[in-house]
Structure 1
């Protein structure tokens, strides 16, 4: 997983450096651990961990900054869910921007709950049914920021679990 996290970070940074943009993105991946302090369980966040293991929870947050001198509208921000992880939930306490999810690698997005059609056998016959997609099947997350004022920053994110 460490190699995947580092590779993703390098690719994102490289892509951003090559194309001038009115916005900048800063991705931070942090390990989230539950620790007991004085008999009370609390979260400890370790930024840019050196290693992660199956079962570990990672917070992926991206800070979006408007680098222009004017407000910009309908700013799309898309993050893939790393292949060696499963999506858990939106990061708590961050800005509220409606999230949309993808189950096809970011080709299409929709608001939760997502639906998909599956074929099942009922009473000996094949039947097509629409079922709700579980969050651990999400492969990408997209936010569309309605408006971002000049110089304003916004933090968005979600948590994943290492497979």
Structure 2
């Protein structure tokens, strides 16, 4: 599905023209399929798929555009991982920002690898251990663009699998 999302961002250091959105985000979701062409397996994407099924891989890419007349610093862009999907990996070639992940629905973010504390039983005793969070446990992704020049746009994205 394609969704156009206008973000009202409060930016420090100056007023914005009334009615003009400082940032525009355009989210495109595509179904990713492997097809064989002339004996070669090739990846094909289908934007706005009419339906998806368990096991299908989806590509979510958001284009962030700076509509102001000046560079914007430290721009956070957050996308939830849809509940009916499992995070797989960052979209190759489109991530140009510091990437952070959340396992609590977007309340907190940190760069990978994320760690969590678990309690295990060893020799009959409960012991707390730090273990790495699997990417499949991510519930949201946040990118922080250090700078987005005036009039420029960037693409950010990831892939998920339908449960």
Provide the TM-score with structure 1 as the length reference.
0.89
Measured after TM superposition, the shift of residue 36 of structure 1 is 0.4
Structure 1: distance between partners of 2:147 and 2:92? 21
By how many angstroms is 1:57 displaced? 0.2
CA–CA separation in structure 2 for the residues paired with 1:17 and 1:122: 50
Instruction: State the match for 2:47 in structure 1.
Output: 47
| TM norm structure 2 | 0.89
What is the SS of the residue equivalent to 2:27? Answer: strand
Structure 1 position 18, deviation (Å): 7.7
Secondary structure class of the residue paired with 1:150: coil
- Residue 83 of structure 2 corresponds to 83
Give, in angstroms, the shift of residue 17 of structure 1.
Answer: 7.1
Structure 1 residue runs of 4 or more that deviate by more than 3 Å after TM superposition: 17-21
Deviation per CA, 1:15-39, whole angstroms, max 9, x where unpaired? x378863101000000000000000
C-alpha RMSD over aligned residues = 1.7
CA contact (8 A) 2:8 2:22 kept: no
Unmatched 5+ residue regions in structure 1? 1-5
Once the two structures are superposed, the pairs formed by residues 60-71 of structure 1 within 5 Å of their partners are 60-71=60-71
SS for the counterpart of 1:136 is: helix
- In structure 2, runs of 5+ residues without a counterpart are 10-19
Name the CA shift for 1:38/1:98 in 2 (closer, same or farther; >3 Å). Answer: same
Aligned residues, how many?
Answer: 153
Cα distance in structure 1, aligned partners of 2:48 and 2:139: 22
